[in-house]
Amino acid sequence: MKFCNKQQTINSKIKIYTIKIMKKNLITIALLMVAMVLTSRDLKAQTLVRQVKVNVELKDVIGVGPDGPTGSPIVDFVYETVSDYNGNKSVTVPSQLNVTSTKAYNVLIKASGDFIGQTTAAKTIPLTILKVSAKTSGGSTFGPEVVPTVANQIIYTGAPATLSQSFDLLYKIDKNAVLLTADKQKYSTDLIYSISAQ
């Protein structure tokens, strides 16, 4: 009987030990499975593809270029001698206008109105005394002369698309009796250049 009890005690210890080992193995297996699932998720996350669309939208641009004109924004005609009044006068301004355009374009000109006296504003000189013509900088000849008005007129036509095209402008006043009899003071008008698509 003692032997039987001893045997039962040993068997029961073996069972307890086996159960402990099995619990440890189950915990280890469970941890391994969790690790595998997490690793598998990490692998899937690493293999996902992210697609990114990059757009370039081009729209027409037409106007004065980013570099801006380098020519003077002021044109002065000074009449102070007999020969000034008796002859034709002209002023050429190189690179007075700079254009950027994604399509063919025209250069337009208009004026604010007649020349207005700076001392006595009531005194004016007609705008019709002035003629303006344009050419591309480096070009050989100026285009047709335009007498500015308060409405837009084409001063240069048929220019192709460009990143930066400079224009030289030629201003002319022919001998005119109006200048001889006008009040002696400075007169001014504003000329506005703009660009339009062809």
Q: 117 with 99, same domain? A: yes
Measured distance CA(88)–CA(77) in Å, rounded: 11
> Is the CB of residue 97 less than 8 Å from the CB of residue 178?
no
Q: 125 with 28, same domain? A: no
Q: 72 with 152, same domain? A: yes
Measured distance CA(195)–CA(191) in Å, rounded: 14
Query: Which residues constitute the domain of residue 48?
Result: 1-52
Q: 14 with 47, same domain? A: yes
Angle at 44 between CA 42 and CA 45, to 5 degrees: 65
> Is the CB of residue 124 less than 8 Å from the CB of residue 185?
no
Tell me the whole-structure pTM to 2 decimals: 0.71
Q: 108 with 46, same domain? A: no
| pLDDT attached to residue 45 | 53
Q: 77 with 44, same domain? A: no
Q: Is residue 57 a part of any domain in this protein?
A: no
Q: 15 with 97, same domain? A: no
| pLDDT attached to residue 157 | 95
Contacts of 108 (CB under 8 A, 6+ apart): 152, 153, 154, 155, 193, 194, 195, 196
| pLDDT attached to residue 65 | 56
Assign residue 94 the CATH number of its domain.
2.60.40
Ordered per-residue pLDDT tens for the chain, 198 residues? 555 566 666 666 666 656 666 666 667 776 666 666 666 555 555 667 877 777 777 677 787 755 666 778 899 999 999 999 999 999 999 999 999 999 999 999 999 999 999 998 899 999 999 999 999 999 999 999 999 999 999 999 999 999 899 999 999 999 999 999 999 999 999 999 999 998
**Closest by alpha carbon to 131, among 112, 152, 116, 109?**
109
Q: 45 with 122, same domain? A: no
